[in-house]
Homo-oligomer: A and B are copies of this chain.
Amino acid sequence: MVRPTVHDIAKEAGVSLATVDRVLNARPGVREKTIAKVRKAVERLGYVRDTNAANLARQRQYNFAFVLPEGSSQFANALQDALQEAYSSQVADRTLIRVVRVPLQDPHAIVRTLRSLNVNRLDGLALMVPETPQVRDAVSRLKNSGVAVVTLASDLPNSRRDFFVGVDNVAAGRTAALLMGRFAQSAGEILPVTHSLRSRDSLERRLGFDEVISNEFRCLNVLPTVESYGDPERMTRVIERTVAQRKGLIGIYSMGSGNTALLDAIRNSGQIDKLTVLAHELTPTMRHALRENEVAAVIAQNVGHLTRSALRVLRNLCDNFPIFEAQERVRIEVILRENLP
């Protein structure tokens, strides 16, 4: 009982191999009746296409680019590492990946980069940048050139992007709130921090966080969000001032990047072991802070899943295949000191 091949189908349907091939690959030039015959034979024999052989023969090359934030972003570094790993394993076979890093705070530089991509040599693009009108336009241009576009981790909901790969950030914020509420041993104030609320992910997390806190943990009071705009010194100043002045402060919720500076500031305030600190993304900094009990929990998304999902979606978009949304839903992971991977 071996697996049937296209040859078996051809014999069973009483047609030639070429016709079977045309039917299986939905190429034109076959009558409806003949198509039905082949379909029946496929069903009767339980034929399943051998994807190994198909991929080998097809020799399809996917050219993808990943545009990620530049420099100090540990999360982006982790993503790039995951891509490298996908590349050297079989996950990314027949796909060429180019990673471009762009400065987060400079929308024009981002757009320049997006413009510089050679759309003739590009099948798909994965994008992790803040939402600005210029970026939306650039995405529109790429879509017009027939490039598949997915947003990664941070969505651009009003752009023409094809798909968003990443966690539901509202739910991530809700998860953070639930943890904050349950961990808190008394009433008090919570300070939300991020590099910028222009980043869609931060904004959505804040929404989710507020929702749960205001519905279920009335004794907690969420302060206005502190934005650092990627400036460590600004972060340090604001945190030190707030911690010193706000005597009712019991927790800090970091919704974006820049956690290294944030943690340093909290440490300097001398209050780190009195505060419940929650943050996102499992970077080396957060890993260390978890071990030291400085951070209560980290809400993370698995960068390996993220990259694999992005690649899968981009490939399917290129081939006009359907996307199985359930499979692409990235999980919200809760990392504590004891389940650090």
Chain A residues close to B by CB (< 8 Å) = 1, 48, 50-53, 55-56, 88, 90, 93, 96, 171-172, 174-175, 177-179, 182-183, 185, 208, 212, 296, 299, 329, 331-339, 341
Residues of B contacting A174 with CB < 8 Å?
A: 338
Question: Within the complex, what minimum Cβ distance (angstroms) separates A260 from chain B?
Answer: 24
Closest residue of chain B to A87 (Cβ to Cβ) is B48
State in angstroms the CA–CA spacing of A185 and B222 once bound together.
Answer: 21
B337 contacts A178, C-beta separation under 8 Å: yes
State in angstroms the CA–CA spacing of A96 and B48 once bound together.
Answer: 13
Given the interface contacts A185-B185, A331-B333, A339-B332, does A51 sit within 8 Å of B179 by beta carbon? no
Residues of B contacting A212 with CB < 8 Å?
A: 338
State in angstroms the CA–CA spacing of A241 and B50 once bound together.
Answer: 58
Complex copy number for this chain: 2
Contact of A178 (CB < 8 Å), options: B88, B175, B338: B338
State in angstroms the CA–CA spacing of A50 and B92 once bound together.
Answer: 11
B93 contacts A171, C-beta separation under 8 Å: no
Additional A-B contact list (16), CB under 8 Å, known A51-B52, A182-B183: A1-B96, A48-B88, A50-B93, A52-B52, A52-B53, A56-B56, A171-B339, A172-B339, A179-B336, A183-B183, A185-B185, A208-B338, A331-B339, A332-B338, A332-B339, A333-B333
State in angstroms the CA–CA spacing of A294 and B1 once bound together.
Answer: 47
State in angstroms the CA–CA spacing of A178 and B293 once bound together.
Answer: 11
Interchain residue pairs A-B with the least CB separation, the first 6: A332-B339, A334-B334, A174-B338, A175-B338, A52-B52, A175-B339
Residues of B contacting A96 with CB < 8 Å?
A: 1
Residues of B contacting A48 with CB < 8 Å?
A: 88, 90, 93
State in angstroms the CA–CA spacing of A53 and B129 once bound together.
Answer: 38
Residue of A50, A171, A178, A334 contacting most chain B CB atoms (<10 Å): A334
